[in-house]
Amino acid sequence: MLEILRKCFAVTAVLAALSASWAEAVDRSKFRTCSQGSFCRRYKAWIARPEREKALWSVLPETRSALPEGGFSYKVKHVNEAEPHLLLKVSMYASGMVRLRLNEIDALHKRHEIPDGDVITQPPPASAQVTPSEQAGKTVFEFVSTAGAKVQASLSHSPLGLEVSVDGTLVQRLNARNLLNFERYRKPKAVLPPDAASAGQSEPSKVLLDAAAHPHELDTNGLWEEPFGGHTDHKPRGPASLGMDVSFEGDVPSLFGLAEHATKASLPFYEEPYRFFNLDVFEYEIDEPMALYGAIPLIWAIHRIPGGKSLTSGFLWINPSETFVKLDRDAAGVNKGPAHAWWTSESGVMDVVVFAGPRPNQVSGQFHDLTGTAPMPGLWALGKHQCRWNYMSQKDVATVDASYDKYDIPYDTVWLDIEHTDGKAYFSWNSAAFPDPKKMVDSISAKRRHFVNVVDPHIKKDDKFHVYREVRDQGLFVKKVTYKQIDDPTDAKPADWVEDEKIPDTSVSQPDEWNAEEDGPWTPPKIDNPAYKGQWKPRQINDPTPELSDFEGWCWPGTSGYPDFTDPKMRDYWGSQFALDKYKGTNADTYIWNDMNEPSVFNGPEVTMPRDAVHPHGMVEHRDVHNMYGYYVHRATFEGLQQRVPGDRPFVLTRSFFIGSHKYSAIWTGDNYAQWSHLKASIAMVGALTLGGQSLVGADVGGFFKHPDEEMTVRWYQLAVLMYPFLRNHAHLETPRREPYVFGETTMLRIKASLQLRYKMLPLWYTLFRRYQQNGEPVVRPLFWDFLEDSGTHDNEDAVENQIMLGEVLLVHGVTKPLSEQTEAKVYLPAAPGWYSLEAGTFFPPGSHVHKLDLESIPAYYKAGSVVPLKSRMRRSSSCMWLDPFTLNVYLDPETGLASGRVYIDDYKTRMHEDGSSFLEVDFEFKKGVLRASETRGKLPEATAAAVSAEIERVEIFGLKQIPRGASLVINGETTELPMPTIRTLTVGDGSSASLHSAVVKVKPWISLSSGSSWSLSILD
């Protein structure tokens, strides 16, 4: 007990130290804005220059060369340089993408490029079959995408620009406003980069070259070093930023995406640019373009075109250095016409991709064709996760687990935060609080539940800690650079340099009385030399071979080292630490949470790693890879878990992420607040993440900071179970306990009902994840993704900001105010055959409706024409439901009597399904009163078939116009009369006198969905 108290006091001391700088909301003084960062400030001045229309960078069409992987390269020349110094690569991918890359030729320093396979798939996507056509001042590339869309990319030669059209409609223009900037590396303190015949070499300050060299009141602050927040960022390579504009053409009512920011779903056009610089942000604010924990610099645009139709396109900026994005319109405050964005990054190369669409599913498919698809999660990962900072002991964990069972509340996973470790040395246990961790985790596994431990990437500096010692001894920590100034060996004294401080006064002559024999030789007096330039000294530069030492920063353990996860050797070492014989106290049901991986450095600039730290793998500055640090951490963890138990499906949760993180981890929206505004913001934040390819995402239910009241808690659960693919509640160390069973009975029962609904719907969630894994379809998504032709989904406030779709079948409307402020909700139901309320089955036609609110549920509606797989038997965890049969809910299109849907089944845990056949996927159709399987794919292996159910025990049909007089089942030609269905008359929500009914059919014998079974269930009129 004394040891536990000592640990608690240690935690309190850390919190007290941090609280000195923490306030009730984010401390803005810690984090830079565009104007406080030199490269963004320079770019804003550059794009406002008086000569903006002048063509600077031009494509040289005569230099075109075919690329081995498909596409073409061109040399690019600046008007004020003698030779071309940039190389342009243009690639067209068959699924409907156009990619443009711009890099230096023979740069002074190698610019960082993301290694092949880290973000873009390797091999890259299939190249389109393209024959370039040279036209006046441009090269035109045309191809037909795999979906049949006609894509045209027109490369303008001078100035460099790109226009992309799809099916004859112009969707995007790159560099249309001539905002291109590309700062080449310079020699130390040089004004211009090398070019033997650069215009104006004699007066370099007058050359119009780039944002770091032009004659228009150039801001030179921060070119070679830059202070902020008490830290100085040394830049021995000088300025290296780049930027460009993109215009989304046509009538563009809304832009979406740019995860991760706490903004509305329809992106606001702020004065301050959106920032991408992964940071540990405390109590982040809502409706802000400030940087948060992750970066997916992707914009989705809706383009309305003549004839009442719409299409979508996407634009992806692939750069892991700090990036700013500014949105604007031709006319401020008018959400019509084209929308524009400019992008600027601190370093690296320009790598952008236009997703031509034109349908939302095609944009999502193109994104995943480029970056890869996600693996299937284990079914358990879609269940309820119970977490807090912290469960303080083995007994505490046992009490939480037993309490869920006591109140019959389902959950799947218990989580441990940092206090479970021995002094924040990860991969270890606090032996006083957790004396037998293996017994603890095995007891959780025995109930068919799972465990997740936090393992952060900062390594406690302690020679007794084997991980620290081994990483240090292998030289795998990120390095600190100790800079010292030396004479520039390339600097030579100018020929006209005058070092004589005094010269003879030629105006004075020898006096007549001067006697040379007596007075000696006469010398004229000396006067100050007006040409004197001072004592010449070589220019001082940073030593190109400075001293390197392990970078150390402060985080939860105190002084810590930070591994270089960009190094495959480090990732291999990290992954090996999860082996069951190394990570003692864990078992095969223990999975991992990577937090603080932005990385968080409490005493660093902006609470992160200095930009001038060096990653020894490739000697890359941290500025070049900052936004990918967390990506490499969770990738290493994922790959380690893959090797730990071959064939198992790893689970990793990350806070920091980048493009492509969906291949390795789940994501949560970080340290949110127990406020109604944060509950509402989670709708947009989750939607933006799923548009960015990350579907296994969620927000901390109830908020991480502060404590929600009971009504807020209920509303948060009601929304989360229907729209958070990753469902976890988590809370700060200083908040009261908030497990479902600690609330009053009424509140506890409402939370329990919400969680039971989640478990009932797990077959739907799992089936949707299969479609995500195969095709990249977001599991939850904004309404426009499914109803693009309904303009209300583009800009209707309720549709865009308060609602979201679960797959194509369930519309969810969040309630984000207390009943004291909101007693009814305005719901927008998009154009569809109709909608059935989830709770009562009430039928509603498309359009706007008012939903009276109570505390038992929130508005949610199944789309007419859907068949939804469910499971009705409640168990303690999802794994305990494997053998339970299915229920099918059939929501008919009342006019046609049609419905269709799908269920996906496998062993729910291993990767066996990846062989392409060890699963069962069944398509259902209801037509002319008959439910049947229209297509079956795959076959469950014998062992899987014995472990999971593929049977239907119950069917409920909604929207019948006639009261059925019975039901029958035909299996392999044999007919069975089923018990009389239970009939209920449905309410029709528009006040219509139309009569609709539902029928519950109990199926005996159960319908087997296994491959080879032929069956049909008929409703008898």
Q: Which residues are catalytic?
A: 595, 598, 671
- How many whole angstroms separate alpha carbon 60 and alpha carbon 78? 10
- How many whole angstroms separate alpha carbon 144 and alpha carbon 168? 12
Residue 309, C-beta contacts closer than 8 angstroms, at least 6 positions apart:
789
- How many whole angstroms separate alpha carbon 584 and alpha carbon 575? 15
Token pair for residue 376?
């299937």
- How many whole angstroms separate alpha carbon 612 and alpha carbon 540? 19
Token pair for residue 864?
């007419």
Distances, alpha carbon 244 to alpha carbons 258, 350, 675, 767, in Å: 16, 9, 38, 40
Partner residues linked to 843 by β-bridges: 836, 988
Q: Alpha helix locations (H) across 761-800?
A: 762-775, 792-795, 797
Closest CA to 662 of 361, 286, 364, 289: 364
Torsion angle of the four alpha carbons 472, 474, 479, 482, in this order, in degrees rounded to the nearest 10: 90
Q: Tell me, rounded to whole angstroms, the distance of Cα 254 from its chain centroid.
A: 20
- How many whole angstroms separate alpha carbon 521 and alpha carbon 518? 9
Torsion angle of the four alpha carbons 433, 436, 439, 440, in this order, in degrees rounded to the nearest 10: 10
Tell me the one-letter amino acid at 21: S
Distances, alpha carbon 805 to alpha carbons 687, 781, 800, 829, in Å: 9, 5, 11, 11
- How many whole angstroms separate alpha carbon 397 and alpha carbon 549? 41
Angle at 140 between CA 137 and CA 142, to 5 degrees: 170
DSSP one-letter string for 666-687: EEE--S-BSSHHHHHHHHHHHH
Tell me the one-letter amino acid at 340: H
User: Where are the strands (E) in 167-261, listed by range?
Assistant: 169-174, 181-182, 225-228, 231-234, 242-248, 255-259
Token pair for residue 23?
């306030």
Partner residues linked to 502 by β-bridges: 528
SS3 content of the chain, % helix, strand, coil (to 5): 20, 30, 50
- How many whole angstroms separate alpha carbon 974 and alpha carbon 631? 56
- What DSSP element (H or E) covers 133? strand 133-135
3-state secondary structure of 946: helix
- How many whole angstroms separate alpha carbon 726 and alpha carbon 695? 9
Distances, alpha carbon 628 to alpha carbons 279, 315, 321, 748, 862, in Å: 12, 19, 8, 41, 39
Torsion angle of the four alpha carbons 259, 260, 266, 270, in this order, in degrees rounded to the nearest 10: -120
- How many whole angstroms separate alpha carbon 464 and alpha carbon 714? 47
Residue 944, C-beta contacts closer than 8 angstroms, at least 6 positions apart:
906, 907, 912, 918
- How many whole angstroms separate alpha carbon 570 and alpha carbon 562? 11
Please count the other Cβ atoms lying within 10 Å of the Cβ belonging to residue 723: 27
- How many whole angstroms separate alpha carbon 105 and alpha carbon 410? 59
Closest CA to 931 of 892, 976, 973, 984: 892
CA end-to-end span of the chain:
71
- Contact between 303 and 169 under an 8 Å Cβ cutoff? The reply is yes
